[in-house]
């Protein structure tokens, strides 16, 4: 490094050459027609590692012609690069950037290419750099795969949630059906015989036992009689489902989601429930009333 008469440092050609060759990016300088004027060490090293001879001289090779003559899988990227560089030379754009894949002995490699005009007087010259971004691309692909896995898991959870709602709805339906069958069986096959026993000639001890059985059965079935038998006469099956869910503390939105109907439909059923249950006072709480029934 030299200094001028005022003591300022001036970069020598040798230092500039060393700096140029120490850069990790693969760099070439081309003229306005696309001919290569100079390349750095990284450009040459990469070319040799991909099968070109060690003594190759890139100077006066035409980079644009090489791109435009590409064949095979790389043709699309090569044509795009040549077109972008021509726009920079013609000063239609300030810079051109492009990332592309490249096959190398180590496997798939990705590069980020940038072409800009060299700011100087005279004929246009373009500096082209290719930076290896393989690690970044691999990280992006890994992130994309991870996101896809998370989306698949989220989809599975949503499907499981829907299936669970169906099971809950079926469970409530089965529960109501079981209670109805229990009431029917007790009223049909048990209570009539208890009444006959009570009307028969029984000892004081036997009559006491029959009365105890009768009282206990009534204690068991009375709540069910009130909540199911009477309600089933008053309410439609859909209203019964809504009533059970309101009693369980579910909101209109949650009930609509569980029963796969609109919120307007649930609001309609809630109004019918209030009318049929005699809740004329708007201040009366439907859930509190249902809790007192069930």
Domain limits of the chain? Answer: 2-132, 168-293
Give the whole-angstrom CA distance, residue 172 versus residue 181.
Answer: 14
Q: For residue 225, what pLDDT is reported? A: 55
Q: Using CA atoms, how far apart are residues 73 and 82, in angstroms rounded to an integer?
A: 16
**3-state class (DSSP) for residue 285:** coil
Q: Provide the pLDDT for residue 35.
A: 93
Give the DSSP letter string of 238-259: HHHHHHHHHHTT--HHHHHHHH
Nearest to 114 by CA among 49, 20, 26, 48: 26
- At the top level of CATH, the class of 168-293 is mainly alpha
Do the strands 126-132 and 2-3 form a parallel or antiparallel pair, or are they unpaired?
Answer: unpaired
pLDDT digits (tens, 9 = 90+) for 124-136: 899 999 998 988 8
Q: What is the CATH number of domain 2-132?
A: 3.30.450.20
pLDDT of residue 4: 47
Distance CA 69, CA 75 (A): 8
pLDDT tens-digit readout, 71-81:
877 788 889 99
Contact 259, 169 (CB under 8 A): yes
Q: 97 has which bridge partners?
A: 114
Tell me the C-alpha distance between 115 and 13, whole Å: 23
The gap from C-alpha 250 to its chain's centroid, in whole angstroms, comes to: 27
What pLDDT was estimated at residue 92?
92
Q: How far apart are the first and last CA of the chain?
A: 95
The two domains 2-132 and 168-293 share their CATH topology (first three levels equal): no
What residue ranges of the chain have pLDDT lower than 70?
Answer: 1-12, 103-106, 183-184, 187-189, 192, 221-235, 237, 292-294
- CA 8, 13, 15, 16 dihedral sign is positive
> Which run of H or E residues covers position 133?
none
């Amino acid at each position: 490094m030299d200094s001028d008469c005022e003591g300022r440092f001036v970069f020598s050609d040798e230092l500039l050459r060393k700096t140029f060759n120490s850069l990790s990016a693969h760099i070439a300088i081309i003229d306005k027609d696309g001919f290569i004027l100079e390349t750095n060490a990284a450009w040459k090293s990469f070319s040799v590692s991909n099968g070109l001879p060690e003594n190759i001289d890139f100077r006066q090779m035409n980079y644009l012609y090489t791109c435009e003559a590409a064949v095979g899988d790389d043709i699309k990227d090569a044509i795009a690069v040549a077109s972008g560089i021509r726009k920079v030379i013609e000063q239609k754009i300030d810079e051109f950037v492009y990332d592309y894949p490249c096959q190398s002995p180590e496997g798939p490699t990705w590069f980020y290419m940038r072409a800009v005009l060299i700011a100087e007087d005279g004929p246009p010259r373009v500096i082209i750099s290719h930076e290896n971004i393989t690690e970044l691309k691999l990280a992006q692909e890994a992130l994309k795969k991870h996101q896809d896995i998370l989306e698949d898991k989220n989809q599975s959870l949503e499907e499981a949630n829907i299936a669970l709602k169906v099971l809950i709805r079926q469970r409530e339906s089965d529960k109501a059906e079981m209670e109805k069958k229990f009431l029917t069986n007790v009223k049909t096959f048990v209570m009539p015989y208890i009444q006959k026993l009570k009307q028969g000639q029984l000892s004081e001890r036997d009559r006491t036992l029959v009365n105890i059985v009768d009282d206990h059965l009534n204690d068991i079935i009375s709540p069910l009689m009130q909540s199911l038998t009477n309600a089933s006469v008053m309410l439609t099956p859909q209203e019964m489902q809504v009533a059970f869910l309101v009693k369980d503390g579910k909101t209109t939105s949650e009930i609509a989601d569980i029963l796969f109907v609109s919120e307007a439909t649930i609001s309609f059923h809630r109004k019918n429930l209030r009318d049929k249950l005699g809740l004329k006072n708007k201040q009366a709480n439907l859930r509190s009333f249902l809790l007192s029934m069930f």
